[in-house]
Each structure stands twice: as structure tokens, then as C-alpha cells.
């Protein structure tokens, strides 16, 4: 046996011993349960209120989705110049309103002048909400208007900006003052924002996974050392694909489920894909078409009865 072969075999033996030792000494870090996530069945979250059935992030969309029977909303928030928390996705107004400009550079009064239904096209191709009075919605207004609804809140402002530096503390104070700790999830693409928020919340509010946390979990799942993964999120809200990697594997969902972490997928708008994900183990569907999703969930429930 050659020297290189001996060294290779020794390295394999050492790796195997390390794996066996870690398995014997380390138990998986199961995430403590959160009330908002204790639904026990697949749920429907209307993406930006249901962006395909009414203008996104408007009371029209939220009300219409609530009437359909969704379990909650998936929303984004941004901070205004006068430090009000808005339900709004884009950094700039241009795509959804009749105005233009950067949200963080405008006051609430400035923003309330704009028509949020201006660019929305219904399924017949008409501007059916233009001029109908759909205005900017404050996060406080949304939380108060739908007191029974699960709301997933995504902090969009970058932590490197002034507004981004303020959002975590502002959001915590709002959640705490309204006493809605057990019906919201707070997340962000920026892991740093989630960490900042949790410095205030101290695990009293369910938190989602940022981009780095998703990468860490997926790497652990694909390795022989998944048992060493220590999750820092209560729920994963992810796309079916990230770069070259598929994130919708039943085994990946099971890996997270064994750690008490449900997985929600966005943005899913066809019945075929919804059915496939739920069958694979998804616990949440984030969709622009809550009308389709509610029909899918209802049909699945009827099949079980």
C-alpha cells in the first residue's frame, strides 16, 4: 500500500471518527415552538395582500384576501422620512403609484397624496382601481384592522441606511405597544436586521431566516454534520430555487421540520405547484393568487375527511 493511500485512508478514518463522536455527543438543536406557528396544517399567506387580485399593499387587497379566507398576509415594510412604518415593498414609488421618488425621502403626508391603484391591471386588462382612493397603509393600521390575522413582516430597508438602522427598534416598539407578539413573524433578507430586531424582542416574537441563515441550513443539510446545525430562525420563508440550488426537496423540508421549523414557499401562483409543495411537506404557500390557494387548501382538506 502506497504512502498516499495510507494517508487517505487515515484521513477518512479520522473524519468518520469525528462524525461518530459528534453524533454521540451532540443532540439536534430543536427550535422552541412559537404560538403564531402552531397552526398544524398548511396555510395561505396573501403576498402583499394578494397582488394579483387587487393593488398590492392596499386595504382593498387585504380585505379581499381576508374575505377569501386566507390565514395571513406576507408584507414588506419601509420607513418614511418622518419615521412612520409603511406597508410598502419598493424603495421607489414609480412602479405602483401615480408618483415618483424614494420612500425614505418623503413624509407620510407626502405619500398619502399618491394613488396606489394607479398602475394595477385586473384580469381583464383594465385599470379598475385607478382613482378609487387606495392610499398608503401604515403597519399600525393593518395590525389593528385585522386582529386575528397572521402577518409576516419583512424589513426591506438596508441596515446600511439611516432608515434601516431605525426600523428594528421602531418595529419592536410598535409590536410591543399593540401586544401582537404572538401573531406576527419578523424577517428580512438581511440577517443583520433580524439580529438587531431580536436584540429588542429577546425571542418573544417569531423570526424568519435571512439569506445567510438559509445558506447555513442548506449547507448543513447537504453535509454529514446536519446534527450540528443550530437554527436561529423559527420559520423559513424561501423560494423554490436559489441560484443553482433547489430548495423544495422533501428531505430538506423534513430536515427543518425535525428541528420544529416550518417552511413557507414564495411566490407560488399555480394550483399544480401549490399541490406539489404541500405534498412534499410545505407548511405555507405565499401567493399573489389567494383565490387559487384557498381553493387548493379546501380541496385537500375535503380529501382528508
Catalytic annotation, residues: 47, 89
Q: Which of 194, 145, 142 lies closest to 167 in space, CA to CA?
A: 194
Query: In the chain, which residue ranges form alpha helices assigned H by DSSP?
Result: 3-25, 59-68, 108-111, 139-145, 162-178, 191-201, 211-222, 250-257, 271-280, 290-304
Residues forming beta bridges with residue 44, ordered by sequence position: 285
Q: What is the dihedral of CA 79, 81, 84, 86, to 10 degrees?
A: -50
Three-state secondary-structure class, residue 74: strand
Burial class from Cβ neighbours inside 10 Å (0-12, 13-18, 19+) for residue 45 reads buried
Alpha-carbon distance of 87 to 62, in angstroms, equals 11
Query: Are 216 and 236 spatial neighbours (Cβ–Cβ below 8 Å)?
Result: no
- Which CA distances in Å does 261 have to 22, 67, 146, 169, 229? 22, 28, 25, 25, 13
Give the strand pairing for 72-79 and 85-87. antiparallel
- Give 80-85's long-range contacts (Cβ < 8 A, gap of 24+): 80/104, 80/106, 80/107, 80/108, 80/111, 81/105, 81/106, 81/107, 81/110, 82/107, 82/108, 83/163, 83/166, 83/170, 84/108, 84/138, 85/138, 85/139, 85/140, 85/167, 85/170, 85/171, 85/174
Amino acid at each position: 500500500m502506497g504512502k498516499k493511500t495510507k494517508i487517505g485512508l487515515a484521513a477518512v478514518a479520522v473524519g468518520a471518527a469525528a462524525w461518530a463522536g459528534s453524533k454521540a455527543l451532540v443532540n439536534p438543536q430543536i427550535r422552541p415552538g412559537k404560538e403564531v406557528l402552531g397552526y398544524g396544517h398548511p396555510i395561505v399567506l396573501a403576498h402583499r395582500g394578494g397582488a394579483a387580485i387587487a393593488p398590492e399593499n392596499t386595504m382593498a387587497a387585504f380585505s379581499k384576501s381576508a374575505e377569501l379566507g386566507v390565514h395571513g398576509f406576507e408584507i414588506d415594510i419601509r420607513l418614511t422620512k418622518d419615521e412612520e412604518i409603511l406597508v410598502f415593498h419598493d424603495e421607489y414609488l414609480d412602479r405602483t403609484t401615480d408618483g415618483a421618488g424614494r420612500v425614505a425621502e418623503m413624509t407620510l403626508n407626502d405619500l398619502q397624496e399618491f394613488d396606489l391603484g394607479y398602475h394595477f391591471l385586473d384580469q381583464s386588462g383594465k385599470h379598475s382601481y385607478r382613482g378609487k382612493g387606495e392610499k398608503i397603509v401604515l403597519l399600525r393600521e393593518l395590525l389593528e384592522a385585522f386582529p386575528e390575522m397572521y402577518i409576516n413582516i419583512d424589513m426591506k430597508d438596508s441596515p446600511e441606511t439611516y432608515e434601516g438602522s431605525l426600523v428594528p427598534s421602531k418595529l419592536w416598539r410598535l409590536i410591543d405597544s399593540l401586544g401582537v407578539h404572538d401573531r406576527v413573524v419578523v424577517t428580512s433578507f438581511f440577517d443583520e436586521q433580524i439580529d438587531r430586531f431580536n436584540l429588542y424582542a429577546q425571542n418573544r416574537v417569531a423570526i424568519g431566516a435571512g439569506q445567510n441563515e438559509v445558506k447555513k441550513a442548506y449547507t448543513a443539510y447537504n453535509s454529514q454534520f446536519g446534527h450540528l446545525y443550530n437554527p436561529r430562525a423559527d420559520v423559513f420563508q424561501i423560494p423554490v430555487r436559489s441560484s443553482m440550488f433547489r430548495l423544495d426537496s422533501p428531505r430538506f423540508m423534513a430536515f427543518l421540520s425535525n428541528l420544529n421549523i416550518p417552511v413557507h414557499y414564495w411566490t407560488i401562483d399555480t394550483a399544480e405547484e401549490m399541490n406539489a409543495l404541500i405534498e412534499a411537506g410545505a407548511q405555507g404557500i405565499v401567493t399573489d393568487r389567494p383565490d387559487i390557494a384557498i381553493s387548493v387548501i379546501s380541496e385537500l382538506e375535503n380529501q382528508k375527511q
